[in-house]
Amino acid sequence: MKRKVVIITVLSVLLTGILGIWFAGTILSAPAHQSIGNLPSDLAGRDVQFSSESGATIHGWFIAGKKGGGAIVLMHGVRANRLTMLDRARFLSHAGYSILLFDFQAHGESTGEHITFGYLESRDAQAAVSFLRENSRDEKIGVIGVSMGGAATLLASQPLGVNALVLEMVYPTLNQAISNRLTMRLGGWASALTPLLAWQLKPRLGVDVDVLRPIDHVGKISVPKLFIVGAEDRHTTVEESRQMFDAASAPKELWVVEGAQHVDLYPASKRDYERRVLDFFERHLKTADGNK
């Protein structure tokens, strides 16, 4: 009788755990739709829409810059939207760049049913670069990709064909990202649950977790890259960011923001961020017509 009780108790605990992990996966992949509203009046731009091979209609804003000044796509992180990129848009627009900021599929006002942590979003990244190229002819193009936005940039089936990349806090592999987040919330033992969360990607989203490995792609991208990471980041540790940097092909630069965690790195070090990012894009995007 006692043995039966023990077996039933163990099975109940296992079932509860499995259901809990499945529920967590449901929450993590659920869309993050939000009404965005109008472009702030201090930025002279327009609403835009374009189609993506992700199946989504992508919504965003386009801000025209100076001829020869370069053009930049701003790609937000997971469960965020283009509003989080507005401050970057302001200082880059002020410097003369044309700017496209948009909502990834299943985020903001863009359509989409599931967040896929860079998989479908990589197709949105391709569509965004194509849109910007069409609307900023003869301009060199750069990207700022934050977290999932950086992963989407790297996971594109073909390199995006841009001239420079700023990559902020990009996970090397989704397995590592899942393990870090479980450990942060539940303790070191919880990393053992990583396979259960990762396994759900296939039945839920139709993608194998082994596909979501930006570190396997970063070495194939030959354009200049600036990696920006937080020294105290526990979501994507500085050690993992150094792995990404080491795997990347040259030319490449690394800036570790002291004291910063997995946060918006622009307000965390505003003056240095503007100086470093503007210098990076000045060197790689400006043409003779756009130089001051």
- Axis crossing angle, helix 86-94 with helix 270-285, rounded to the nearest 10: 50
Residue with tokens 């849109």: 131
**What single-letter amino acid sits at 106?**
A
In percent, how much of the chain has pLDDT > 70? 87
Contact 285/164 with Cβ under 8 angstroms? yes
Task: Give every CB contact of residue 1 below 8 A, 6+ residues apart in sequence.
Answer: none
Supply the DSSP symbol for 187: -
Contact (CB, 8 A) for 233 and 256: no
Tell whether 267 is covered by a domain. yes
Which residues fall within 8 angstroms of residue 192, CB to CB, at 6 or more apart? none
Domain with 266 in it: 43-173+212-290
Residue 36 lies in a domain: no
pLDDT for 26 equals: 72
Q: What is the mean pLDDT of residues 47-72?
A: 97
Beta strands in 122-204 (DSSP E): 141-146, 164-168
CA–CA separation, 177 and 201 (whole Å): 14
Residue 291 — very low, low, confident or very high, per pLDDT cuts 50/70/90? very low
- Whether residue 181 is contained in a domain is answered as no
Closest CA to 145 of 217, 238, 226, 64: 226
| Residue 207 belongs to some domain of the structure | no
**What is the residue-wise DSSP string for 48-112?**
EEEE-TTSPEEEEEEE---TTS-EEEEE--TT--GGGGHHHHHHHHHTT-EEEEEPPTTEETS--
**Long-range contact set of residues 243-246: C-beta below 8 Å, sequence gap at least 24:** 243/172, 243/215, 244/167, 244/170, 244/172, 244/214, 244/215, 244/218
Structure-block tokens of residue 1: 């009788």
* 231-289 pLDDT per residue, tens: 999 999 999 999 999 999 999 999 999 999 988 999 999 999 999 999 999 999 986 55
Residue 292 has pLDDT above 90, yes or no: no
Helix (H, G, I), strand (E, B) or coil at 214: helix
Q: Is residue 283 part of a domain?
A: yes
Instruction: Report the C-alpha gap between 49 and 40 in whole angstroms.
Output: 18
Cβ atoms of 218 and 242 closer than 8 Å: no
Whether 25 maps to a domain, the answer reads no
Measured at the CA of 205, the angle between CA 133 and CA 181, to 5 degrees, comes to 90
15 is a domain residue:
no
Report if residue 264 sits inside a domain.
yes
**Overall number of domains in the chain:** 1
User: For position 135, which CATH number holds?
Assistant: 3.40.50.1820
**pLDDT tens-digit map of 204-235:** 888 889 999 999 999 999 999 999 999 999 99
For 63-94, write each residue's pLDDT tens digit.
999 999 999 999 999 999 999 999 999 999 99
| pLDDT tens figures, 107-162 | 999 999 999 999 999 999 999 999 999 999 999 999 999 999 999 999 998 899 99
